[in-house]
Every structure is written in structure tokens, then in C-alpha cells.
Amino acid sequence: MTKIFVLRRSTLILVGILFVAAVIGTFYVRSLLGDEAVPVAATTAEYHIAIVEYEGSTKDGKAYEIYRFDPGTIYVQHGQRVTLTFHGLHGAHHSIIIDGYNIQDHVSKGEATSVTFTANKKGTFRILCETHDETSNLVPMVGYLVVG
């Protein structure tokens, strides 16, 4: 059996008034907030990266040190202005390179070094410490900058 809904005229008018009020309210809120988006490049994203050390020993008693960036991966938007501040918590000296961006700097224990650049290349780029690279350590000191 088919049901038929009958709406009264007053119900239709009420629904119409509510719809118009919702549309007007939406435009009013948008005018207050502004519909102009802030470009990504207009803001600078700031990240703090600690340089930390882990010590240990192998089963045969050989001591080793492993250095790392913490956090190990930084995610930024393409076109965004970025400031990376490296904090030297452990290790005497670290020469830092960001592949693909021609950025080189260094940080010493107890100091902080900042680099600012525009992330204008998409991809994943290594953040390397030349002092603790693949050839001088059991595990290289490497982090990653992901630009998407």
C-alpha cells in the first residue's frame, strides 16, 4: 500500500523560511570570517629537532654510540616557509646537510642552530649529519624532510 504525504501550506512556508535563514546565516558567517585563504607561504612553520645520543654495547662487549634527530621525520607542505631549529643536546659537533636544498650548517653541544627556507621541491629529502655518516658509524645519523 502506498502512503501519500500531504503537507499543509503553513508547513511548506516554514520550511522555506528556515532554508532562507540558513543560507543568509551561512553568508553572514563567511563575511565575518573572510573567505580569503591565507597562502601557505605566508606563514612559517617552525620545527625543533633535538640531537640525541644512545649508547650501548654488543654481545661481545664492544661499546657503541648512535646519534639521531628527534623527531626523525618532518612533514611540510609544498611552498611553505620552514624554520628548522637543531638543538645540540649530545655530541661535540654536528655538520648538518639537507639534501636537495643546498643547506649546510652545524650545531655544537649546548647550542641551537636555525635554518629557514621555502620548501619549493616536492619529495623526501635526507637530513644528514656528516660527522656521523654511514662510513663513520654503525648506524648513520639521518632524518627526513617530507614535502608534499
Q: Tell me, what's the pLDDT at 128?
A: 93
- Give a yes or no: residue 4 inside a domain: no
Residues 6 or more apart whose CB falls under 8 angstroms from that of 70 comprise 49, 50, 51, 52
- Asked whether residue 34 is domain-assigned, the answer is no
143: in domain: yes
50 in any annotated domain: yes
Beta strands in 32-138 (DSSP E): 44-57, 63-70, 73-76, 81-88, 93-98, 103-108, 112-118, 123-129
pTM of the shown model = 0.68
Omega within 30 of 0 (cis) for the link into 71: yes
- Total domain count, the chain: 1
First to last CA, the chain: 57
Domain-located, residue 2? no
Domain presence at residue 6: no
136 falls within a domain: yes
Nearest to 131 by CA among 85, 89, 97, 100: 97
* CA 147 – CA 41 distance, rounded (Å): 13
| pLDDT in single tens digits along all 148 residues of the chain | 677 767 677 777 877 787 787 778 777 777 666 545 556 556 889 999 999 988 888 899 888 788 899 999 999 999 999 999 999 998 888 999 999 999 999 999 999 999 999 999 999 999 999 887 766 666 788 999 999 9
Residue 23 lies in a domain: no
Return the pLDDT at 124.
Answer: 97
Range of the domain at 143: 40-147
Residue the block writes with cell 652545524: 106
Q: CATH code at 111?
A: 2.60.40.420
